[in-house]
Amino acid sequence: MQRVIFHVDVNSAFLSWEAVYRLYHLGGRLDLRTIPSAVGGDQEKRHGIILAKSIPCRKYGIQTGEPVTDARKKCPELVLVPPNYSLYHRSSAALISILRRYTDRIEQFSIDEAFMDMTGCCTGTPEHTAHELKDIVRKELGFTVNIGVASNKLLAKMASDFQKPDMVHTLWPDEIAAKMWPLPVRNLFYVGHASEQKLFTLGVRTIGELAQADPNVLKAHLKSHGLLLGAYARGIDDSPVVTDPPANKGYGNSLTTPRDVCDAGLARTYLVSLAETVSARLRADNAKASVVAVSIRDYNLAHCGHQMILSAPTDLTIEIHAAACRLFDELWDGTPIRQLGVHTSRISRDGTRQLGMFDTLDYEKVRKAESAIDKLRKRYGIDVVKRACFLDSPAGGRETIDHMGGGISREKRTVDYSRETIL
């Protein structure tokens, strides 16, 4: 039996989900997908980039990831809406629920795309089933998807990127030469800017030229990654659809500060905020970390980092923060800070922690306290308990800091639509 893989990709996901929500739940009359519109971050908090854009934005040259200020220069009438990750997660879950009607072999590749192993699950031809699925998503959820149909994950993903929106495309092995090889090499999955430039120096500009390239030459210039790209260009990919995501090999969060940080005390408070979220994620997964790292990006966007091995694996905020502060003090040279990160690795999940001869901390006692706080936050909201260093000072002098920072920032988690103009 021929293997059949679908790749389902939501068209302009964040923008589409916002448009549908406004039309069907908030009484909106104008479909954001039909006008130059985009989802963008808060410029005041230095999150001002385009996260998703409508198809009409293409004629203005607006790109995902560019600053909002640049996008507005290209299109002064651009309609900008704030991100709402709570809505995105609900919309994504609704999509996956429909996909499960067809198969239980689903790999969610990102919040807005998924692979489906449809081998033996198609009613009629794979193309007919894909069209049926696409139309059901549009009818029941209001947004559109592209579906790539192929014999492996790579070709399915390539196919879904063909003409958009609301389309089904196939890319079977006998279609590779006609449909994939004429494309620019940058269109191939896993070809980034650096790889593209190296391939250009070898005279490789299309996927077809890459498919015909000497593997020894590719390995000499791009090492093992060159061999992988050569195989991909020939449509070779044996990777399975993984229904159970692998366990995290590391936990970390970072945040961009509203303004440059020049005070070490303020930086350490931000590190408390990051340690809170990282340790909570560790405890939620019954995991402990043996390595803690700190990353700093300064106002010139220069990056540096430092890490250390702990004397014992931990999931405690107090220990992760202490390690982060020590690393920060060793790393920071006083240059104004734009972004801070706390990261952990060397993860263990055996549930035990060996007592050390020189331990001064009662690990079990502190862990019970922090676990109790986790339960309170889960039941009553993350703001029900916060550390004293985050309480607002009546005298001012220190800006308000989110006591659980990093990851998706608070203003992106939900939107107060009473403050929004619904067109």
Residue 291 has which token pair? 């390595």
Other CB atoms within a 10 A radius of the CB of residue 210 amount to: 23
Res. 158 pLDDT band, cuts 50 70 90? very high
Res. 129 pLDDT band, cuts 50 70 90? very high
| 404 three-class SS | coil
Answer yes or no: do 293 and 376 share one domain.
Answer: yes
Res. 46 pLDDT band, cuts 50 70 90? low
Other CB atoms within a 10 A radius of the CB of residue 227 amount to: 14
What is the C-alpha to C-alpha distance for residues 402 and 274, in angstroms, rounded to an integer? 9
pLDDT, one tens digit per residue, over 50-76 is: 999 999 999 999 999 899 999 999 999
Residue 29 has which token pair? 């009359």
pLDDT, one tens digit per residue, over 171-182 is: 999 999 999 999
Strand 168-171 vs strand 145-150: parallel, antiparallel, or unpaired? parallel
Provide the CATH number for the domain around residue 22. 3.30.70.270
Give residue 406's domain range.
251-412
Answer yes or no: do 206 and 325 share one domain.
Answer: no
Q: Quote the percentage of the chain above a pLDDT of 70.
A: 95
pLDDT, one tens digit per residue, over 289-323 is: 999 999 999 999 899 999 999 999 999 999 999 99
Answer yes or no: do 390 and 322 share one domain.
Answer: yes
Nearest to 119 by CA among 145, 95, 161, 153: 153
| pLDDT at residue 100, as a whole number | 97
| pLDDT at residue 47, as a whole number | 58
82 in a structural domain: yes
Provide the CATH number for the domain around residue 189. 1.10.150.20
What is the C-alpha to C-alpha distance for residues 370 and 248, in angstroms, rounded to an integer? 21
Answer yes or no: do 194 and 171 share one domain.
Answer: no
Res. 393 pLDDT band, cuts 50 70 90? very low
Answer yes or no: do 21 and 52 share one domain.
Answer: yes
Q: What is the DSSP letter of 421?
A: -
| pLDDT at residue 395, as a whole number | 38
pLDDT above 80 (res 386): yes
Answer yes or no: do 208 and 313 share one domain.
Answer: no
| pLDDT at residue 407, as a whole number | 78
Q: In what order do the strands lie in the sheet with 106-110?
A: 106-110, 113-117, 5-10, 145-150, 168-171
- Average pLDDT (352-357) is 69
Res. 399 pLDDT band, cuts 50 70 90? low
Q: What is the DSSP letter of 51?
A: E
Question: Nearest-5° angle of CA 303, CA 308, CA 313?
Answer: 130
- Average pLDDT (79-100) is 96
CB 330 within 8 A of CB 306: yes
Dihedral sign computed on CA atoms, order 258, 263, 265, 267: positive
Least confident of 210-219, 242-251, 349-358, 374-383: 349-358
Res. 360 pLDDT band, cuts 50 70 90? confident
Res. 328 pLDDT band, cuts 50 70 90? very high
More confident residue, 2 or 157: 157
pLDDT, one tens digit per residue, over 69-86 is: 999 999 999 999 999 999
Checking 321-329 for CB contacts under 8 A at 24+ apart, the result is 321/271, 321/272, 321/275, 323/292, 324/271, 324/274, 324/275, 324/292, 324/294, 325/268, 325/271, 327/292, 327/293, 327/294, 328/264, 328/267, 328/268, 328/271, 328/294, 328/296, 329/264
Answer yes or no: do 239 and 112 share one domain.
Answer: yes
| pLDDT at residue 400, as a whole number | 75
| pLDDT at residue 116, as a whole number | 98
Query: Which amino acid is present at 36?
Result: P
Q: What is the DSSP letter of 133?
A: H
423 in a structural domain: no
pLDDT, one tens digit per residue, over 238-261 is: 999 999 988 889 999 999 888 899
| pLDDT at residue 356, as a whole number | 66
Res. 186 pLDDT band, cuts 50 70 90? very high
Residue 207 has which token pair? 């996927």
Residue 169 has which token pair? 């495309």
Catalytic residues: 113
Nearest to 249 by CA among 136, 175, 132, 349: 349
- Average pLDDT (208-217) is 97
- Average pLDDT (320-339) is 96
Residue 167 has which token pair? 């389309």
Instruction: Provide the number of structural domains found in the chain.
Output: 3
Mean residue pLDDT of the chain comes to 92
Answer yes or no: do 98 and 173 share one domain.
Answer: yes
What is the C-alpha to C-alpha distance for residues 240 and 266, in angstroms, rounded to an integer? 47
Nearest to 251 by CA among 218, 229, 208, 280: 280
| pLDDT at residue 362, as a whole number | 87
